[in-house]
Amino acid sequence: MQRLCPKCQSWFSGQQICPRCNVQLLDPSRENAVPRLFQTKNPLATPITAWGRIILGTLLAQGLVLGIRYLADAWLLSQGQADEDISWLAPIFQFVGVALGALLVGAGYLRPLPLGMAFGGLNALVFLIVRIALQEKIAADSLINLAIAMMLFSAIIARIGGTIWRAFPPLQLAVPIAIDITPRANEPGQLPASFRISWERIILGSMVAAMGSYFAADIWKALIDSSRGSIQPANQLQSQFIAWELAMVAIVLGGAFAGMNTRIGMRQGVLCGALAGLFLITTYFVRGEGSYSSFEFWFEIFGWNRQRSDGVPPQLALLLFSNGLFFGTLGGWMGAALLPPIVKRRRSRRYY
């Protein structure tokens, strides 16, 4: 039977004492489970939303697709068949990654079918954007068929995941539960450390994000030079796109560093990404044209002028700031979700 912790509002099965807070768990079927009426919004009790499942599944699926693609390229290089074209295997790689992502999306969810269809549609859109960015041709009929097949396939796999890992049925409570989690008397109005803004992490994370973005193109060039010809991009646009991806990975890592070990990861990530974006704009203003070759991809896509004018071009400033803000927020959320605060378990007193 599931029991509720009155302090952190977490549910535990088969236990009498909360392993986090070391307090007595409440039985929701008994009337004495209601201590006092107190309205609160506790982030610890907020479950992951449907859109959160879809975004996490999409990130996992696309990461697996790229990983499988690179493994295939590495195997061909080891066999001396580097010139062989395996672009026809891209849909197969996509379906493998989508299958694993759909399992994650549907596991533990009461209605996995619509969630799986939305997940499949989003992955089809991402697949199209990547193909356009890499200048790979695809027929319109094939694209429509691929999107429909991916949505149906994702819905089926999500249903399988929901069948294997079933969701907890909604609890029918005898009385409504209102929990009292007011601050302790000796700590009036003081938030826990995990809910406070950590400016040290924000500053360090923004430095990691900004420096990684600044040197992303140089890192990519060094990887190409050190590979002795084994890594060769198909064209210049693909090389610029990979350099931009490395810059965004650096911003995500900086945001994750700012958000880890906190309960306010998105807030930390927003501040970290904003500082990183301002740092990038300032550096371009000081050093001028050629400062950020990792963003050349967007110059090619939109046809912007590379000649420096007085100040920073508005479209470039918007690009630098929006990239830092979006991916910094994403990194902060991921850091707080993957590396939450460590709760020290206190030993309970036993009386004999």
Would the pTM count as exceeding 0.85?
no
Q: Are 65 and 124 in contact (CB under 8 A)?
A: no
Assess whether 126 and 198 both reside in one domain: no
Tell me the CA distances in angstroms from 20 to 16, 25, 280, one per residue in order: 12, 11, 41
Residue 203 confidence class, pLDDT cut points 50, 70, 90: very high
Please give the backbone phi and psi of residue 58, each rounded to the nearest 5 degrees, phi first.
-65, -45
Assess whether 159 and 77 both reside in one domain: yes
Assess whether 214 and 129 both reside in one domain: no
In 3D, which of 140, 116, 119 has the Cα closest to residue 128? 140
Mean pLDDT, range 9-17, rounded to an integer: 75
Assess whether 261 and 311 both reside in one domain: yes
Q: Which of 164, 183, 214 is the last residue of a domain?
A: 164
Q: Are 335 and 255 in contact (CB under 8 A)?
A: yes
Assess whether 208 and 320 both reside in one domain: yes
pLDDT at residue 45 tops 50:
no
Report pLDDT digits (tens) over 97-132: 889 889 888 888 888 888 888 888 888 888 777 776
Q: For residues 272 and 323, what is the distance between their CA atoms, to the nearest angstrom?
A: 12
Report pLDDT digits (tens) over 55-83: 888 888 888 888 887 788 777 777 777 66
Q: Which of 164, 185, 218 is the last residue of a domain?
A: 164
Average of per-residue pLDDT values in the chain: 76
Report pLDDT digits (tens) over 285-329: 776 655 667 777 777 777 766 555 555 677 777 888 888 899 999
Q: For residues 23 and 191, what is the distance between their CA atoms, to the nearest angstrom?
A: 20
Q: How many domains is the chain partitioned into structurally?
A: 2
Q: For residues 211 and 276, what is the distance between their CA atoms, to the nearest angstrom?
A: 9
Q: For residues 273 and 270, what is the distance between their CA atoms, to the nearest angstrom?
A: 5
Domain, as residue range, for 305: 194-338
* β-sheet bridge partners, residue 3: 12
What is the model's pLDDT at position 252?
93
Assess whether 204 and 300 both reside in one domain: yes
Residue 331 resides in a domain: yes
Handedness of CA 94, 95, 100, 102 (dihedral sign): positive
Assess whether 202 and 332 both reside in one domain: yes
Report pLDDT digits (tens) over 239-289: 888 888 888 999 999 999 999 888 888 899 999 999 998 888 887 777 665
What is the model's pLDDT at position 186?
42
Q: For residues 245 and 306, what is the distance between their CA atoms, to the nearest angstrom?
A: 20
Report pLDDT digits (tens) over 137-167: 656 566 677 778 888 999 999 999 888 888 7
Q: For residues 93 and 273, what is the distance between their CA atoms, to the nearest angstrom?
A: 32
Assess whether 65 and 199 both reside in one domain: no
Residue 91 resides in a domain: yes
Q: Which of 164, 179, 202 is the last residue of a domain?
A: 164
Residue of higher predicted confidence among 11 and 192: 11
What is the model's pLDDT at position 351?
46
Mean pLDDT, range 17-31, rounded to an integer: 71
What is the model's pLDDT at position 207?
92
Residue 40 resides in a domain: no
What is the model's pLDDT at position 208?
92
- Within a 13 Å sphere around the CA of 180, how many CA atoms are in the beta-carbon half? 6
What is the model's pLDDT at position 31?
44
Assess whether 160 and 198 both reside in one domain: no
Q: For residues 160 and 163, what is the distance between their CA atoms, to the nearest angstrom?
A: 5
